Amino acid sequence: MNFNNQKPSEPQVPYPPFLSQPPKKKSRASAKRILTTLIILIVLGFIAFQIIRTPRRKTESITTEKVMSYYSLKKGELFANALSRCEVPDPLARKVIAGLRNCQFNFRQCKTGDRIRIVTEYLKNDSGINSPGVICQIEYQTNYDRIYEIHIDSTQNVSVAMVYKDFQNLTELVKGSIQSSLYESVIVAGEKPVLAANFADIFGWEIDFFVETQEGDSFFILIDKKYDDTIAVDYGKIYLVRYKGKIGDYYGVFYENPKGHYDYYDLEGKSLRKAFLRSPLRYSRISSYFSKARFHPILRIVRPHHGIDYVAPKGTPISAIGDGVVTFAGWKGSYGKLVEITHKNGYKSRYGHLSGFAQRIRTGRRVTQGQKVGYLGTTGLSTGPHLHFELLRYGRWVNPLRIIPPRAEPIKTQYLEEFYQTRDQLLEQLKQ
């Protein structure tokens, strides 16, 4: 056998020591996965690049804004009509009225000039207000110190709260000189007309400010003022008054004794008041005088008229002319509704043709001078609204216009020392 014709075998090359087996050939599936991954990475990179490159849009901020509107109650205007004028929707207005009624709000006491504040809430974005307003609060102010707050929630439910404001009381001295009249001079001094009226009332039995004031006379008033922050909103107690002029030098000192009785007195402790007011009405005119023979317009006969008839609008308040006790309050024949008051020293006053009686006025009730006892009317034998006023002494009628009433009681002896101390302290403040 010829072995020389056989091909020699190839020498075997050993595997590298780190390979335990020969390498496998890469599959087509693996190559596809790699390609797909690369494509995804490229797409994601492109998207990220576009996001980075695109400018971000600014997010709009939305806020709320409250707008306040102010109104005043007009003469003769009803509260419901005022809400309509303030553009309060009818369904909400009915809820507001019901809420106030539940709080014992007296709609009859609404008066001209009462203030209404409407708070409307708007949604606002960067470009301005972009939503219709919604009323969230209504305030009704009947006086400087009393406010009704009506809160409206998002479901249009209503809740009512009554707010009393706190004020600061400061004692101040108001003074000035008469230029033309007391009224105008008080206004020039920066005060309100009511202060002039109160000052005149204190000296009402001493000075006739319509005819006895002279240019150059001076007045002084030591008084408490109520302040809301820096604004004076009302007056408090008047402690001391003085009027100095050609007619004389008059003082009025406020004093309250330990039993609670108070009045204005001169420097010696004598009351500035007389026992009776000049009239049971402040603003009125006399339509019929006291007479022993007057033709009666209804009965058509001549008979005595034992009183004075004061004409004023129906409902005008009637005041007791002096301290006393109510001995009759009811219907009495031709007088209609009548109040009778018994005073000291045998005097008795009667107030007839009333439309009604003041609160707590009944037989046996004690009243003070100037206290409201009833309202002018036309009940009984009457041709129209007026007050028939009579004054009797020891059972006999007297002419009220001719009577000279005594002074009211002076300070009792046991209180004089305390009064003098109070007087001296007030006079020291008058000098400051």
Burial of 224 (0-12, 13-18, 19+ CB in 10 A): middle
Q: How far is CA 6 from CA 1, 11, 12, 367, in A?
A: 11, 15, 18, 158
Q: What is the pLDDT of residues 339-381, one digit of tens each?
A: 999 998 899 999 999 999 999 999 999 999 889 999 999 999 8
Query: Cα(261)–Cα(411) distance, rounded to whole angstroms?
Result: 10
- pLDDT in the model for residue 393: 92
User: What are 222-254's pLDDT values in tens digits?
Assistant: 999 988 777 788 899 999 999 999 999 999 999
At the top level of CATH, which class does the domain 168-265 belong to?
alpha beta
| pLDDT for position 302 | 57
Q: Do domains 63-164 and 168-265 have the same CATH topology?
A: yes
Type of residue found at 138: I
pLDDT at 404: 77
Supply the CATH classification number for the domain 285-398: 2.70.70.10
Of the candidates 234, 138, 136, 158, the one whose C-alpha atom is nearest the C-alpha of residue 191 is 234
What's the rounded Cα separation, in Å, for the pair 389 and 41?
110
**Whose structure tokens read 């009579």?**
390
Cα three-residue angle 89-94-95, rounded to 5 degrees: 100
Q: What does the chain come to in residues?
A: 432
Per-residue confidence in pLDDT tens, the chain, 432 aa: 444 555 555 555 554 554 455 555 556 667 777 777 878 888 787 777 777 766 655 556 677 788 889 999 998 899 999 999 998 999 999 999 999 988 888 888 888 888 899 999 888 776 665 667 889 999 998 877 778 899 998 888 999 988 877 788 899 999 999 988 888 899 999 898 889 889 988 988 888 776 788 889 999 999 999 887 777 888 999 999 999 999 999 999 999 999 988 999 999 999 998 888 878 886 557 777 766 655 556 555 556 778 889 888 899 899 999 999 999 999 999 899 999 999 988 999 999 999 999 999 999 999 998 899 999 999 998 888 999 999 999 999 998 888 878 888 899 999 999 999 999 999 999 887
Helix (H) or strand (E) holding 102: helix 90-102
pTM reported for the whole predicted model: 0.57
Q: Report the CATH fold assignment for 63-164.
A: Nuclear Transport Factor 2; Chain: A, (3.10.450)
Q: Where are the domains of the chain?
A: 63-164, 168-265, 285-398
**pLDDT, position 1:** 47
Looking at residue 124, the DSSP 8-state letter turns out to be E
Q: Which residues contact 234 (CB under 8 A, 6 or more apart)?
A: 144, 145, 167, 225, 226
Show Cβ contacts of residue 301 under 8 Å, excluding neighbours closer than 6 positions.
Answer: 295
